[in-house]
A and B are shown apart, each in its own frame.
Chain A
């Protein structure tokens, strides 16, 4: 049995892999300066830090994508260099990225073995062997996926499992998991935890990157904290509290994560009645008042984003009406939605939220050009003024307003998207997973700002899959399950248990 090889936590074994004094500089930015990281066999090390702390850079150095400018990488105590990603893979290091590149048109098995498929006669791919081995790996992680199924026919969670299987298909000694739970539902997250336990028992060293503290305390044995590209500290997770880690991450106390607010609820702004869609959602009705934060909770795939995008005019509902300030709104396109005062901050910032190649000011003014221009002619001075006004309200960090949005960190990109919508002076703002994948400092800023907006009389809809965020921010919560409203909760009813029960339909 594999359990025989289990190396108990706390056993003082030598690290499988260690980074020593690693430095990496990009033009104008010191991404890492003199950082250290140790990974032990059979243990999970959580790498913790805000966005921009250098976590992704470390992953890229470990996997041979970047070359460090200084310092040493050691495997089993011996210094090594990874000139290419292939060299790192040969040394048994594998990574499951936030967005692992997979190929929709290929089968699960082909995705798993791409680049190192088992070969048969004449060097041709041994399909039977590849299928057999794929099935073995998929079985070992408890994934019920047909290895020959085309990837595009699989759901997002199953795609993720294929990515994990791909990482395990090379005989890895070090497994790097970069925010592996970001796209997963509760059930799938628990399966992932079991998988991590299994990998530990096989003696693999695991580097686990996550923004979620409950996760870190649930599965990590050790931690390493980075801040602004520098090593801050490491140790055993059992020796620290969440507050200690937060303090190390941000360099200050963040005692209160969610802003205290006394909501001032005004008149009804938005009334949605009988929104239906042939496949995505059915029978959605609710109302929203000024100054209110309405949370939408549910599992991934519950139809929350699909409904919101329909309300925003991206997809046409089969039936249903939206009334804004008492008048029926004809929303056939996002332009109509913006005109009637509904704006949407999407979950997918890079693709839907911002136009990353364009500069900050152009992103901010894009929906407000009618206001900053004269007779359709651009007035640059007006544009910069508007962009400055709203980005400074959000405390944007950028070199100039002319910087492409793609050069900013995730949290700052989110600020640009929010600034863009506030500049249109909306009545209802829909925030879809507003803090997903952004660091704890920016998270608090976004929460603070959300509270401020509600205080100023804006009606806020917040779609979130994070229970603390839903509980900490919402005045009322609508739980969706399989495209329908499962429950409307407020006040005393709002507990983690009620949310989870209604979302899962228990």
Chain B
């Protein structure tokens, strides 16, 4: 205990060692297992074009999931993301009717996302309302506006060059969406793991009071996170609308749960404070592979959601059961 010359080492465990024992490595094993199982289960699985198609199962949701991961790590949540897609898509559809071109549509999509995010952020950080309540409210509100505007109608007639965002390929089987997904993943990974902003997010999620008392501008950071989540919902709205080529008010219905599932499956603590972007990336692949594999086996959608639910509970419960059993 008491040496006169005391040197405290930086770390006892190297980052690599820590990663090896992490949730992410376990999840990667699960992903590989599912991949192998899929390739045995269906002869159509190991086909470049089929695999490329499979990525559309998760790319749009994952874009939102990255922003959502930061928001959940900070101790907040946004359940209105799917409704933001609906509103942004409706706004773009309305703009098309007014003859707005593709660049303008993008501005409308991103702008709507940002506005919705700002509205959520304002209610949470300025008025101090709990985000889960605020965003359950705006979840109904945003989609409600879409229903009022569209009723049982749909917007169509998107310009042909707008189709690129959801249907275009950059090279061979590599879709534009997949490239965008990868770029956004890298950006969010850097933002969370390599910047002062990311450090503040972890600090707030672990102890908002302590972060405030340490001179962190807690409301500002949280507001930015809501803005980012809104923005990414806008990006997802552009991709999805482009892919479908039309807008109905039921677009992306129920996605908020899949996005949150992806984030939690990726190892983000739903109570805030911990989690990583690589984890969410792997979780996106796991969910995409499971959905696609079941699709190849002609499993109906309702069974798929049961499987996804079971997977989530299973992957989260197993390590704890393992711990209990070992003791």
Q: Is B truly associated with A?
A: yes
Of B6, B10, B206, chain A has the most CB atoms within 10 Å of the CB of B10
Report how many A-B pairs have Cβ atoms within 8 Å. Answer: 106
Tell yes or no: B285 within 8 A of A by CB.
no
B10 touches A355 (CB 8 A): no
Assembled-state Cα–Cα distance A392/B10 (Å): 12
Assembled-state Cα–Cα distance A335/B212 (Å): 8
Tell yes or no: B121 within 8 A of A by CB.
no
- The answer to whether residues A344 and B213 also contact, given A370-B196, A376-B195, A397-B1 and a CB cut-off of 8 A, is yes
Choose one: B1, B8, B209; the contact of A228 (CB below 8 Å).
B1
- The answer to whether residues A357 and B197 also contact, given A366-B214, A400-B9, A402-B10 and a CB cut-off of 8 A, is no
B10 touches A334 (CB 8 A): no
Assembled-state Cα–Cα distance A356/B213 (Å): 13
Tell yes or no: B43 within 8 A of A by CB.
no
Choose one: B6, B203, B209; the contact of A397 (CB below 8 Å).
B6
The 0/1 profile, CB within 8 Å of A marked 1, for residues 1-20 of chain B is 10000101111110000000
A356 touches B217 (CB 8 A): no
B8 touches A351 (CB 8 A): no
Interface residues of B (CB under 8 A from A): 1, 6, 8-13, 194-200, 202-203, 206-207, 209-217, 273-274
Inside 8 A of A370's CB, which chain B residues have their CB? Answer: 196
Looking across the interface, which residue of chain B has its beta carbon closest to that of A375?
B195
Tell yes or no: A21 within 8 A of B by CB.
no
B206 touches A314 (CB 8 A): no
**A276-314: which residues lie under 8 A (CB-CB) from chain B?**
312, 314
Of A337, A361, A370, A376, chain B has the most CB atoms within 10 Å of the CB of A376
B206 touches A357 (CB 8 A): yes
Q: Closest CB-CB distance, A312 to chain B, in whole Å?
A: 8
B215 touches A355 (CB 8 A): no
Assembled-state Cα–Cα distance A377/B192 (Å): 10
Tell yes or no: A318 within 8 A of B by CB.
no
Choose one: A228, A314, A355, A376; the contact of B203 (CB below 8 Å).
A355
- The answer to whether residues A358 and B195 also contact, given A334-B212, A337-B215 and a CB cut-off of 8 A, is no
B195 touches A377 (CB 8 A): yes
Q: Closest CB-CB distance, B164 to chain A, in whole Å?
A: 33
Q: Closest CB-CB distance, B73 to chain A, in whole Å?
A: 12
Inside 8 A of A339's CB, which chain B residues have their CB? Answer: 215
B214 touches A401 (CB 8 A): no
A358 touches B202 (CB 8 A): yes
Beyond the given pairs A335-B216, A352-B209, 11 more chain A to chain B contacts, judged by CB atoms under 8 angstroms and listed by A's residue number, are A338-B215, A357-B207, A362-B202, A366-B216, A367-B215, A376-B197, A378-B196, A399-B9, A399-B12, A400-B8, A400-B10
> 7 nearest interchain CB pairs?
A402-B11, A338-B215, A369-B196, A367-B215, A355-B210, A352-B213, A355-B207
B203 touches A366 (CB 8 A): yes
**A180-209: which residues lie under 8 A (CB-CB) from chain B?**
none
**A358-411: which residues lie under 8 A (CB-CB) from chain B?**
358, 361-363, 366-367, 369-370, 373, 376-378, 384, 388, 391-392, 395-403
**A207-259: which residues lie under 8 A (CB-CB) from chain B?**
228
Inside 8 A of A377's CB, which chain B residues have their CB? Answer: 194-196
Inside 8 A of A362's CB, which chain B residues have their CB? Answer: 199, 202-203
Q: Can you give 29 contacting A-B residue pairs, CB < 8 Å? A: A228-B1, A334-B215, A334-B216, A335-B216, A337-B215, A344-B213, A351-B210, A352-B209, A354-B210, A355-B207, A357-B273, A361-B10, A362-B202, A366-B211, A366-B216, A367-B214, A373-B195, A373-B196, A377-B194, A378-B199, A384-B10, A388-B8, A388-B10, A396-B8, A399-B9, A400-B12, A401-B9, A402-B10, A403-B12
Assembled-state Cα–Cα distance A312/B11 (Å): 33
Looking across the interface, which residue of chain B has its beta carbon closest to that of A388?
B8
The 0/1 profile, CB within 8 Å of B marked 1, for residues 406-429 of chain A is 000000000000001000100000
Assembled-state Cα–Cα distance A400/B14 (Å): 12
A334 touches B214 (CB 8 A): yes
B195 touches A378 (CB 8 A): yes
Tell yes or no: A56 within 8 A of B by CB.
no
Inside 8 A of A398's CB, which chain B residues have their CB? Answer: 8
Looking across the interface, which residue of chain B has its beta carbon closest to that of A345?
B213
Tell yes or no: A100 within 8 A of B by CB.
no
Inside 8 A of A403's CB, which chain B residues have their CB? Answer: 12
Assembled-state Cα–Cα distance A396/B7 (Å): 10
Assembled-state Cα–Cα distance A403/B8 (Å): 10
Inside 8 A of A396's CB, which chain B residues have their CB? Answer: 8
Inside 8 A of A369's CB, which chain B residues have their CB? Answer: 196, 199-200
Looking across the interface, which residue of chain A has its beta carbon closest to that of B213?
A352
Assembled-state Cα–Cα distance A355/B211 (Å): 7
Q: Closest CB-CB distance, A385 to chain B, in whole Å?
A: 10
Q: Closest CB-CB distance, A408 to chain B, in whole Å?
A: 11
Of A335, A339, A363, A392, chain B has the most CB atoms within 10 Å of the CB of A335
Inside 8 A of A312's CB, which chain B residues have their CB? Answer: 213
Looking across the interface, which residue of chain A has its beta carbon closest to that of B191?
A376
Assembled-state Cα–Cα distance A404/B205 (Å): 15
Inside 8 A of A420's CB, which chain B residues have their CB? Answer: 214
Tell yes or no: A158 within 8 A of B by CB.
no
B207 touches A356 (CB 8 A): yes
The 0/1 profile, CB within 8 Å of B marked 1, for residues 451-494 of chain A is 00000000000000000000000000000000000000000000
Tell yes or no: A346 within 8 A of B by CB.
yes
Tell yes or no: A333 within 8 A of B by CB.
yes
B214 touches A391 (CB 8 A): no
Inside 8 A of A15's CB, which chain B residues have their CB? Answer: none
Looking across the interface, which residue of chain A has its beta carbon closest to that of B210?
A355
Q: Closest CB-CB distance, B15 to chain A, in whole Å?
A: 9
A352 touches B199 (CB 8 A): no
Tell yes or no: A353 within 8 A of B by CB.
yes
Inside 8 A of B199's CB, which chain A residues have their CB? Answer: 362, 366, 369, 378
Inside 8 A of B200's CB, which chain A residues have their CB? Answer: 369
Looking across the interface, which residue of chain B has its beta carbon closest to that of A403?
B12
B213 touches A353 (CB 8 A): yes
Assembled-state Cα–Cα distance A337/B9 (Å): 32
- The answer to whether residues A314 and B1 also contact, given A366-B199, A369-B196, A378-B195 and a CB cut-off of 8 A, is no
Q: Closest CB-CB distance, B203 to chain A, in whole Å?
A: 5
A355 touches B194 (CB 8 A): no
Q: Closest CB-CB distance, B176 to chain A, in whole Å?
A: 28
Inside 8 A of A353's CB, which chain B residues have their CB? Answer: 210, 213
Q: Closest CB-CB distance, A423 to chain B, in whole Å?
A: 11
